[in-house]
Amino acid sequence: MMSYDKRVDVAGSEKHLPPRCERIGDVDGSSLISVTVVLRRTGNQPAVSQGLIPHASRQEFSQKLGADPQDVQAVEQFAHHHHLSVAEASLEKRRVVLRGTAQNLSDAFGTTLAHYKDNATNQTFRGRSGALSVPEELKDIVVAILGLDNRQAAFAHFRVISAARANTSFSTVDLATLYNFPKGLNGKGQTIGIVELGGGYRTSDLRKYFRGVNVTTPSVTPVSVDGGANTPGQAADGEVELDIEVAGTVAPGAHIAVYFAPNTDQGFVDAITDAVHDAARKPSVISISWGAPEDSWTQQARTAMNAALQDAATLNVTVTVASGDNGSTDGAGDGKLHVDFPSSSPFALACGGTTLQASGHQITSETVWNQTAANEGATGGGVSNSFALPSYQLKTGVPKNPQTSFVGRGVPDVAGVADPTTGYKVVVDGQNSVIGGTSAVAPLWAGLIALINQKLGSPVGFLQPKLYGLTKPVLNDITAGNNDDSRLGSYSAKAGWDPCTGLGSPNGSALLSALTTSSTAKA
């Protein structure tokens, strides 16, 4: 029997209240709350190399890289001690979901909960400050405790513009041609997962959109995570319908599974985890268009989400992630350079943005998206302060972070048109719209990867080492522009990789050819 006499802080669990925040009331101690407890890998294995991922089947994953059953049992005993119920215990997800009263959960994890109002955003939330703690017996077992604080965690990276203000707009059918996506493929046999933290879609909108572009409406399934649901009628509808319409136009033969979760760190981590480990739908590629500045997350949340993305790499699932729409500062407002997370995870294929001009079926100009002067955003990108330079970027020329000198992960990896003034034609809430943002680039790349997976007959999975390892460039190198949004002058486009557009925008057929050659050579 464990004594639980001595307690220790959970590493990286420190939480701070926003600066313009006021306490507006107590949390009812009898109210019920569910929390996600993320556990270490079996045998406390460290994170695997960021360049060489040992693949595992879904069947063997829980034994090799899941949670240790004894660790799960230890958490369950702790829960019983504090009168908490176990709503879920998953070895492969390394997750135990506990449910109990606010008072019992506060006692269990050594914190005090209250209701707050963020006067800067006018949002109210259940919050906490300081670190969480657990008994010493659980010190090495628990990686993260998520869900006690339910403030908004991320932002959708899309920008709506009126048709009158759009200089040019493209249908995704046009973009597939301009970006030389391989012909004769439709993504059949693939599942594209899409993570959403709000909003929803209407089937009538999807029918109207796909009928308008003369593409068969794909099969779409909403999946609930932590009580999230397809709830159209919100501002985030633009994000949800953009993602489905872009990915579905590129790969209409693929099944699309949309994982709806609450916009909290718990919801976001659980959504990615559920999508990655969805043994029923088995997505081979997942698209994420949400994020927030790296240092707005607790370390424990970053660690838990990065581990979920590592799981994706291990299971041969590609995850495309928008790099943000607020330039080199990521909209943090502190005059410092920031990159967006989860795009900054070394296991995410980070997607930056461009401004695109075309004539007929040919690209005439493609530059870094930066419309800051017109208040129309700029692509996110830069150098991480949280994740070290991954092995696949060692020979890429990623600079040190100009402000901290940290040798970090370079963001993004790839790019595509994102400027709303040269945006995507979509249908949202029954209306024809033009939308931009790196939110559109993530599903564009996800659709392309579904086509490539279909052609290769197996998923490309963790794409970055393969992409950076190609001996010849196969993308459209972007060499003009910058993503400076605060006169910091830090990042500009150049030949080869750069911290604005990565390795460049898609040349789909060339990429497929290179990956085919690479796969044949290894075989």
Cα distance between residue 143 and residue 133, in whole Å: 11
At 89, list the tokens.
């215990």
CA contacts within 13 A on the Cβ side of 510: 15
At 98, list the tokens.
């506990």
Inter-CA distances, 488 with 190, 218, 336, 337, 410, Å: 43, 44, 8, 8, 18
Length of the chain, please?
Answer: 523
Reported as type and span, the H/E element at residue 204 is helix 203-212
Reported as type and span, the H/E element at residue 173 is helix 172-178
Q: Can you point out the beta strands (E) in 147-242?
A: 155-156, 159-161, 168-170, 191-196, 220-224
Inter-CA distances, 102 with 30, 31, 77, 126, 375, Å: 6, 6, 19, 10, 43
* Residue 45 φ/ψ, nearest 5 degrees: -65, 140
Cα distance between residue 387 and residue 404, in whole Å: 13
Cα distance between residue 124 and residue 205, in whole Å: 32
Beta bridge partners of 349: 320
Cα distance between residue 395 and residue 136, in whole Å: 43
Give the chain's radius of gyration (CA, Å): 22
Inter-CA distances, 1 with 74, 192, 353, Å: 10, 46, 56
Who's near 16: CB < 8 A, 6+ residues apart? 129
Who's near 62: CB < 8 A, 6+ residues apart? 91, 92
Whether 355 contacts 419, CB under 8 Å: yes
Cα distance between residue 400 and residue 406, in whole Å: 5
- List residues with catalytic annotation: 239, 243, 439
